[in-house]
Amino acid sequence: MSRKTSDEWRNLVEQQVSCGLSVSKFCEQQQLNVKYFYARKAIIVFNEFMLSS
């Protein structure tokens, strides 16, 4: 498994939200660790919140 950039993680989060799959199903399909996905998603959401404030 290769390391992903911030942009790649942002794209993965956007894909998960737009496709309507649960995080666990999406991660299974993308071969991602669910706990790590949730952690990265939280960072992205927090950063976007801070930028919009």
Q: Mean pLDDT across the chain, nearest whole number?
A: 94
Residue 51 pLDDT more than 80?
yes
- How many Å apart are CA 6 and CA 22, to the nearest integer? 21
- How many Å apart are CA 37 and CA 41, to the nearest integer? 6
pLDDT score for 2: 79
Domain limits, the chain: 6-52
pTM of the model: 0.86
- Tens of pLDDT, residue by residue over 23-43, are 999 999 999 999 999 999 999
Residue 14 pLDDT more than 90?
yes
- How many Å apart are CA 17 and CA 33, to the nearest integer? 17
Do residues 21 and 29 touch, judged by C-beta distance below 8 A? yes
pLDDT score for 1: 60
Alpha carbon 31 to chain centroid, angstroms: 12
